[in-house]
Structure 1
Amino acid sequence: MTATTTTAATELAEVRVTTFGYLHGAPPADAHVVLDLRHHFRDPHAVRGLRNLTADDAKVRAAVLNTPGIRPLIDATAATALAYLAGPSAGPLSVAVGCAGGRHRAATVGRILAAVLADLGIAATVAHRDLHRPVVAR
């Protein structure tokens, strides 16, 4: 990303990131971009020691961020957000990040995405729709 592109895209820009679990419902209806992490990225839920933890725990964040493909996906999503924000229509951008339960992959990726966008000068917020919900029995 060039500094010129980033500067132009960040003027009055806002990105709202919502994380969620598909097992608790559909993605937010107002999402412009939806990331579905269920099928291509391993699930910390399958690891007994991580199952009952959440993205609030460093072990979960490390497991997710060390998953091949996750970091490039975050960078690509940040670039996608900049492309949307560079468009001629004003208004905030809504990005939804989903996994099975919304406690591990989605919450971690959503937090890091918001941090990456903030580092680029974008006003980014993150809300976790399902992080507080109990582990889903599967």
Structure 2
Amino acid sequence: MIRIVSFGYGHAAPPAAEATYDLRTLFRNPFHDPALKNLTGLDAAVYEHVLATRGADSLAQVVSFLAVGLHDTARGADITIAYGCVGGRHRSVGLARRTQELIQLTGRETAIEHRDVDKPLLPSSAH
């Protein structure tokens, strides 16, 4: 199985994973849009915003390709891919969702966990 975890660096240490992607400075933060701030990457508006960010879908495609390759190399052993942003509510959730969608197209079994999506909003940096 390929596990995908979204999390917020501001809540706790990153989860154990074979690969962790830090999105804090990589992509624009929906937190700074008043219409999206109180939503999460589980909401269509935030998910679409994240995927409309230049490079976001490309990253999800590359990560899904690598995850499938790692899973094959590990001879079927479970692997974990993690995405982190400041609060674990917007960017990380959106990228985790997209990565799961892409991996599922290959027929691999996936599981997704949004560790911090229900935690309180954190003050965000300029990113």
Structure 1 length-normalised TM: 0.85
Which structure shows the higher helix fraction?
Answer: 1
Q: Which residue of 2 aligns with 1:113?
A: 99
- Offset from partner CA, 1:109-138 (integer Å, 9 cap, x none): 111111111111110110110000111134
- Offset from partner CA, 1:51-92 (integer Å, 9 cap, x none): 111112211111101000001000000111122122155410
**CA-based RMSD:** 1.2
Deviation at 1:39, TM superposition (A): 0.6
Q: Which residue of 2 aligns with 1:44?
A: 30
The runs of at least 4 consecutive aligned structure 1 residues that moved more than 3 Å come to none
Q: Which residue of 2 aligns with 1:22?
A: 9
Q: Identity across aligned pairs (percent)?
A: 34
Q: Secondary structure at the match of 1:68?
A: coil
Gaps of 5+ in 2: none
Gaps of 5+ in 1: 1-13
Q: Which moved more, 1:48-57 or 1:87-96?
A: 87-96
Structure 2 length-normalised TM: 0.92
